[in-house]
Structure 1
């Protein structure tokens, strides 16, 4: 029996729809195979899904099971396909009807509970853009997605609780919509500008840079306070607007820096990478694209301490972002 469970994949800051096709055959040896360019984390979901179903007190079918992550030509990474795979297997054996206009997203623990997953905010934004009404995500990620209005966010605690909801035995209440700014993640400045004694000219330059969003180059002898001034800069920057807050939270969500039960970021980020960082670590990219330090410092401060120690190739990579004001 073939079951199609809708889910999604995050490629950088772009989200695409993924259909998790689960076929439980009547004949063949009892195996579970996943196709559709899965990464190692996706391939290992075979063991997580099987163990989670058994430990939830449910029966795992002893049939040949094939899981296809469509579209098959796009690489899939991450552990959040556990929930749709498990749901597809159980739907085919228990004849559970899946709700229309829904997305399923989450990593399973071996005991059947759902773990916090990165990218929940991007999933909610994608659902709103495509007119999808419901998303089922781990309970620990619900606050992150609940800041998007017009999408029903169902906080799922465990696989068993989701099956009870789909069977109308014990319904899960949607997470309450949160205004952007409730329960913010506090990223306080490491130093207060009033703690800096003297250096009036440098402090004046910091104020001008903060007011106009300018770049700043500090040169001075060791111990004169350059690092302390730089770390105090976020404290004099204005609070993020709602749109800016959403931009920053999207980046931190896909990077996995939003903690469980966390919500939107309301303070300016401060990033200070070590001078041995690579160009990919600074700019971003990789086989599976991830934001670099430049993106993580979006709407905040990127502090390059010991600037002359950075490799030439890394500094050259900064030329285009500094000239254009954005990364491509």
Structure 2
């Protein structure tokens, strides 16, 4: 007897519906075909134990399971439940009338319990597109999949629950969430605030500019000056995620298996801070079974690289292409997957190996050669993709102990949103450009008009400060953002002057 059930496979952050065909005939062998990996081949033992433990019969006949389309490689243990249900239906132990209406997913334990899977959200989205009535999956994945409002999301804990449902002996209650209410309730749910930071008003200003234009930033300063504290608060002043951004970000974290059982949608911008010992694969993604890396997990959020010169050179260099294209393509012999990677990079570093170059109170023991060698660990092409270079100095004691109230993140975020709104209107007809940092050279020439006095100022700065040629477009982009923050149609001279101030590492005289 031939029975079909339906499951799903995830490639990148998109899903493909898989037809699980089960045929039982005369014989004694079990076969799984359709390019299964080892996890699927090993599923026979799990499926047989689960079926027998739950009191059902494992057919002692020839069983052929085909995972179609057969040309696509299948990976993982999420097919267990669909295969087990197909075997029970093909052997006449359960009814098969409802199988055409549902996508079925879940890993089986030996006692019949159903364990969580990865990628429930993209699977649910694809099931809805393909016209299925609902999806049956582990309970711990239900809230995540329930973000797809048009689909019946039926959570189950054990094999017996789904068998009773298919035999119409038990009802499964669909999981429902109020998507809009939940999204709006948690959209600004941050534990940290810029008001926690004492002093450092000039650094806060730089981070506000970065947030307003989507610019990458590097913070250079001695240990204990507040670089990490400031960086961690950057997401709190970014515009809230839109629903589309939230769905896309949640899909990535779902595929990576980083959503909790109580999670439905990610409502705050991600903040990822990998250690400097991380590998290039961990950063950009990949592996034998390609998974998203840190740059994709930071999509629509912030990637923080602390102690930047301590990262391996090869790790930093692999970021150059995704910083420009905002997508990372992982290629294998027979397929390639794309992971989105539109993130803000914020890096932090000491100015020298000892950490105290230019410190107002402590003496640096490195010397100018050591300082240049330390800065040389970061390549020019990578620095070329960082718009703001910000020098951070230690906070004075009277500022730390003072009672002066600092601006809250909510107040700063309101100004950032106003600037982003101006940019959204400016780029409304330009595909893949949403903020000033994403402008290419041609768009910079069209949008970043400056006065004749501004041209003289910029030329003088390039010559006197020894700024590199690559700094030119970066200065114009940052100046355009500063002008947007002041709701100025034209880039004024003081906008250019402030932008020039943020190109420290391009100065030939920096570090002596």
Say whether residues 1:205 and 2:198 are aligned partners: no
Change in CA separation of 1:112 and 1:180 when aligned onto 2, cut-off 3 Å = farther
Residue ranges of structure 1 left out of the alignment (5+ in a row): none
Say whether residues 1:193 and 2:191 are aligned partners: no
Match of 1:53, SS state, is: helix
Q: CA deviation at 1:217?
A: 0.9
Corresponding position of 2:22? 22
Q: CA deviation at 1:180?
A: 4.4
List aligned pairs for 1:1-328, cutoff 5 A: 1-26=1-26, 28-29=27-28, 31-93=29-91, 94=93, 96-99=95-98, 100-180=100-180, 182=182, 191-328=192-329
**1: distance between equivalents of 2:145 and 2:247?**
11
Residue ranges of structure 2 left out of the alignment (5+ in a row): 330-512
Contact 1:148/1:177 (<8 A) preserved: no
Count of aligned residue pairs for this structure pair: 326
The range that moved more, 247-256 or 140-149, is: 140-149
Contact 1:11/1:288 (<8 A) preserved: no
**2: distance between equivalents of 1:105 and 1:4?**
14
Match of 2:323, SS state, is: helix
**1: distance between equivalents of 2:296 and 2:186?**
18
Match of 2:305, SS state, is: coil
**2: distance between equivalents of 1:84 and 1:55?**
17
**2: distance between equivalents of 1:98 and 1:212?**
55
**2: distance between equivalents of 1:185 and 1:252?**
17
Contact 2:106/2:138 (<8 A) preserved: yes
Contact 1:55/1:111 (<8 A) preserved: yes
**1: distance between equivalents of 2:16 and 2:326?**
26
**1: distance between equivalents of 2:189 and 2:23?**
50
Q: CA deviation at 1:186?
A: 9.0
Change in CA separation of 1:185 and 1:310 when aligned onto 2, cut-off 3 Å = farther
Q: Could you list the per-position Cα deviations for residues 21-80 of structure 1 after superposition, in whole angstroms to 9, with x for gaps in the alignment?
A: 212222x22x43322222222222111111111111111112222222122222211111
More helix by share: 2
> Which TM-score applies when normalising by structure 1?
0.93
